[in-house]
Amino acid sequence: MMAVRQSVTLTIVAVVSVALGITAGYFIGLATHRSTPSSNGGSVISMALREIVWDKIVKKINPSRIEDNLKYLSAKPHVAASPRNNELADEYERRFKDYGFDEVEKLTYNVLLSYPNRNKPNYAYILDSGNNTQFKTQLMEDILDPAENSSDVYQPFNAFSPAKNASGQLVYVNYGRREDFQKLKDVYNISCTGKIVIVRYGKLFRGEKVKNAESNGAIGIMMYSDPRDYGPVAANETYPHSLWMPRGGVQRGSIGPGAGDALTPGWPSTDDAYRLPIETAPGLPKIPSHPISARDAKQFLSKLKGNAINDSDWIGGLGITYRLGPGFNESYKDWSVRIEVHNSREIMKITDVIGTIKGATDPDRYVMVGNHRDSWAFGGVDGSSGGSILLELAKVIGEHKKQAGVLLVQ
């Protein structure tokens, strides 16, 4: 761990997530932990070290440089293994070297990734009794900022969803939690077996929603961002007029295993690593999943049959009467829902950039600070916000090391 007089190794990694306040607090707290109490119960050394950390590290952090970093990192889409994301790896490497890190490495791994098919897009449909399309979900979000009009942005998709189709009646299952499926069964006497379910984003990881749908017999799932959770303002007050998600916004994201490569669970995805077959890899979803916008979700949910839901926890902000289904009401009798997903799962080469300041007295102990570099699109929030802070923190720590000759002075 980080300690006094460069007593440990500091590693900056562009992989996990960073929080500036937590990092600064950690340095200060560690200084206190490593100090010797004084006779009056305080610690003269720790107070001095806290002042050093504040003056030499925290106070040197420049918000303007963080802003510049964020503009650079989020200037272009940079999904994992893309050319732009590789360019950013080169930039991280260059900066870590310029900042004076003792060692800078670029390590490559071959991991299972997922992408939508640009030539065969994913959609969800409402079909009439003659199997004719009466509604089809949007392919892309509305372009609200000309700077975001990039052909490198992938359509909204749930990464690692299998390439499958599903057709059937629709059931609304709130947030898709286990207790939501249980209530649907115990209180409303509705089964999801053989049905397509639609759930709200929020409350738990999207991959868990898919697992819950699978375990309850669903054959497909749609997820959407309900205005109650992501835009509790008037439609004309959402982005770009505020930070709230517009009604046409769609949340991209993975529904695969939460950590690591699905084909090498528990061991690194090096060139010579043993890989599980995709068909048997644990955690990969088996039913198709497709994310849609609140605007599109309204088309599906407003047509469901059944009694009006009187449980406030199940009522969102679409401005409709929320019902459960299964299936549509009498005005749309014998209409159905179809999901078509054409995602690919491919083993791709990715790069981690690791910069290290070596410790002097406890070099086998580490403090690791980092963030993931890739993003689903431009990544202004996830993960370039963390990357912009990481680069500034790396710069300040590197400059202090150059001046002091050690990571922290006495």
- Cα–Cα separations (whole angstroms), residue 166 to 102, 163, 176, 251, 290: 54, 10, 18, 21, 11
Q: Residue 54 has what pLDDT?
A: 80
Task: Determine the Cα–Cα distance for residues 193 and 208; give it in Å rounded to an integer.
Answer: 17
Task: Determine the Cα–Cα distance for residues 266 and 383; give it in Å rounded to an integer.
Answer: 24
Q: Residue 20 has what pLDDT?
A: 46
CATH of region 117-342, choose from 3.50.30.30, 3.30.1360.120, 3.90.850.10, 3.40.50.300: 3.50.30.30
Q: Residue 383 has what pLDDT?
A: 87
Q: What is the pTM of this model?
A: 0.86
Contact 60, 54 (CB under 8 A): no
Q: Digits of tens for pLDDT over the chain (410 positions)?
A: 233 334 455 565 554 333 444 455 545 455 445 545 555 554 555 676 677 778 878 899 999 999 999 999 999 999 999 999 999 999 999 999 999 999 999 999 999 999 999 999 999 999 999 999 999 999 999 888 888 889 999 999 999 999 999 999 999 999 999 999 999 999 999 999 999 999 999 999 999 999 999 999 999 999 999 999 999 999 999 999 999 999 999 999 999 987 789 999 999 999 999 999 998 898 899 999 999 999 999 999 999 999 999 999 999 999 999 999 999 999 999 999 999 999 999 999 999 999 998 887 777 888 888 899 999 999 999 889 999 999 999 999 999 888 876 555 44
Residues shown for the chain: 410
Contact 363, 8 (CB under 8 A): yes
Fill in the amino acid letter for 302.
Answer: S
Number of C-beta neighbours around residue 167 at 10 A: 15
Q: Residue 407 has what pLDDT?
A: 57
Angle at which helix 384-404 crosses helix 20-33, to 10 degrees, equals: 40
Q: Residue 81 has what pLDDT?
A: 97
Q: Where are the alpha helices (DSSP H) in 323-408?
A: 384-404
Task: Determine the Cα–Cα distance for residues 347 and 55; give it in Å rounded to an integer.
Answer: 46
β strands within 116-168, DSSP E: 123-127, 133-136, 158-159, 165-168
Q: Residue 44 has what pLDDT?
A: 54
Enumerate helices (H) and strands (E) in the chain, giving the number of each.
9, 14
Query: What is 8-113+354-404's CATH topology?
Result: Aminopeptidase (3.40.630)
Task: Determine the Cα–Cα distance for residues 172 and 167; give it in Å rounded to an integer.
Answer: 15
Q: Residue 277 has what pLDDT?
A: 93
Q: Residue 406 has what pLDDT?
A: 59
Strand, coil or helix: 161? coil
Domain range list for the chain: 8-113+354-404, 117-342
